Structure 1
């Protein structure tokens, strides 16, 4: 069995991925932040699944995870799935700088730290690095600037790393879904409802943003679709550089490719400033 590390496995995509990969015969190491999440995950697992205390912003926990996997896997880790993410919502004008720092720390710098830590093992196994991105890395939407910036950074990292590792046997893939039915969107909607200091000129767009995040939580693609793409990135002999997941994501990337920026901006403005019905 090949060993895989999945970060952010407490809920959503990470949880679904850890459970599915263990069921498919991988030896899964699932990073969780709370012991209770680990207990719940182990109860649901039907295959080989080990939970690790892994807050990806804490270097000592990354090191501890590495030491544990290194001791248990003499052949080395085969795949690293950087899935852990945070989404902070708010206008650039009024958002705390910490929202930007935190987003970059979790969504970009943590994958860098994990890649640096595990790359010697991945070279040995000629393994895989799978970074879970978003269509927000291609079309940045109002009030999600911190998230979009961090995902833009993750895609830049992945493209550069893929070229750096060419010929090493290590394959690097990006997973690019649109909205996915996960708790991250419910948390985003809750953030919007709690913010009362949005400048007056944002009020109409702010109301639309709350409706959009609520609908994303309800109508996004099933995490299972994202998991299938992650499995392909790990198991296919020749992994793709990008796996675009869901019809909404494909439409967004097509619009980005063919429409001028001025038109995309106008469409976004109209969408976010429409009258509520």
Structure 2
């Protein structure tokens, strides 16, 4: 822990659980003072620790974002903002035809527009400190699985926004880095399968016939993979390093699966990728049980 690090702030959004909480703790252990974004008092009590200061932060609430900027501007120790780690996110997966439009909009509000709002408010502080923005994307920002259209769409958009932003602010001394995690064991990842099955359970008979097996096999595949996925603490260690290393790359993958899938998606012909996904669906379909609790309208 150096004196320099003691005198620097880092903001981590979505710090109540999973990657965000682990990253906040990792950065605090390195000596940074972390402003950890949470949404409830209970979450604040859980994350509060030496070097970790919880702040109420729903990134879709303008008043929360404004209060965060005021907290940084009014820091009693006049510490510079070294990094902003945009980690908050939600994941609700269902086929394009089935997922309600309000849920599409909700995911874009959190996974894209909320991050833009925070960046717009905090960029002046990062310009002063010649700091860094780390956007937590996903392997889904490069390769979109079936039923992941809305979530992947937000991450594809985050990737594009990050590219534009990086080119806009490079001359100002601000660095923009994208981290593309693959499978990481988090509460959000664990919940997403249950949410998908719950939504599928409300599909009408025609949608059940068209998509039931696809949802079941995709959820089963992801659940099996998460059992051997990267622990959140290991993911956090790499994100903290990316946020603080002297000369970062523009992008980093996180996990063996991401390191494999990201280049595969970029260089493999699209139709061949389609066949890879179809083959995976067929193999999982044979091993998956029918959706439970299906209700036909």
Question: Is the shorter-chain TM-score for this pair beyond 0.5, marking a shared fold?
Answer: yes
CA positional deviation for 1:200: 0.7
Residue 251 of structure 1, CA deviation = 0.7
1:59 alignment counterpart: 62
Return the alpha-carbon distance in structure 2 between the equivalents of residues 205 and 227 of structure 1: 32
Residues 154-212 of structure 1, C-alpha deviation per residue, up to 9 Å, x if partnerless? Answer: 00011111111112111110011101100112111111221211431212211112212
The number of equivalent residue pairs is 274
1:205–1:272 contact (8 Å) kept in structure 2:
yes
TM-score, length basis structure 2:
0.89
Q: 2:41 pairs with 19, 31, 35, which one? A: 35
1:232 is matched with 241
Distance (whole Å) between structure 2 residues aligned to residue 75 and residue 16 of structure 1: 22
What is the distance in 1 between the residues matched to 2:89 and 2:229?
Answer: 17
TM-score (norm 1): 0.95
Q: Shift in Å at residue 75 of structure 1? A: 4.1
Choose the corresponding residue for 2:127, options 114, 123, 137.
123
Q: How does 1:213-228 map to 2 (within 5 A)?
A: 213-228=222-237
Q: List gaps (5 residues or longer) in structure 2.
A: 1-5, 288-297
* Matching residue of 1:250: 259
Q: How far, CA to CA, are the matches of 2:225 and 2:190 in structure 1?
A: 9
Aligned-residue Cα RMSD (Å) equals: 1.3
Rg comparison, structure with higher value: 2
2:215 equivalent to 1:206: yes
1:23 to 17, 25, 29: 29
- Counterpart CA distance in 2 for 1:234 and 1:185 is 23
Cα distance in 1 for partners of 2:242, 2:58 equals 24
Task: Specify the SS of the correspondent of 2:23.
Answer: helix
Which residue of structure 1 lines up, in the alignment, with residue 118 of structure 2? 114
2:283 equivalent to 1:271: no
Distance 1:18 1:211 in 2: 31
Q: How does 1:37-186 map to 2 (within 5 A)?
A: 37-42=43-48, 45=49, 47-72=50-75, 74-186=78-190
- The more displaced of 13-22 and 235-244 is 235-244
Which digits, 9 at most, give the CA deviation of each residue in 1:218-268, with x for residues without a partner? 222112232223222221111111111111101101211331100101111
Deviation at 1:121, TM superposition (A): 0.4
SS of match in other structure, 2:135: strand
Unaligned runs of 5+ in 1: none
Q: Distance in 1 between matches of 2:195 and 2:52?
A: 33
User: How far apart are the structure 1 equivalents of 2:79 and 2:257?
Assistant: 40
Any idea what SS the aligned residue of 1:9 has? coil
1:183 and 1:217 in contact (8 A); partners too = no
**Aligned 8 A contact 2:15 2:21 in 1:** yes
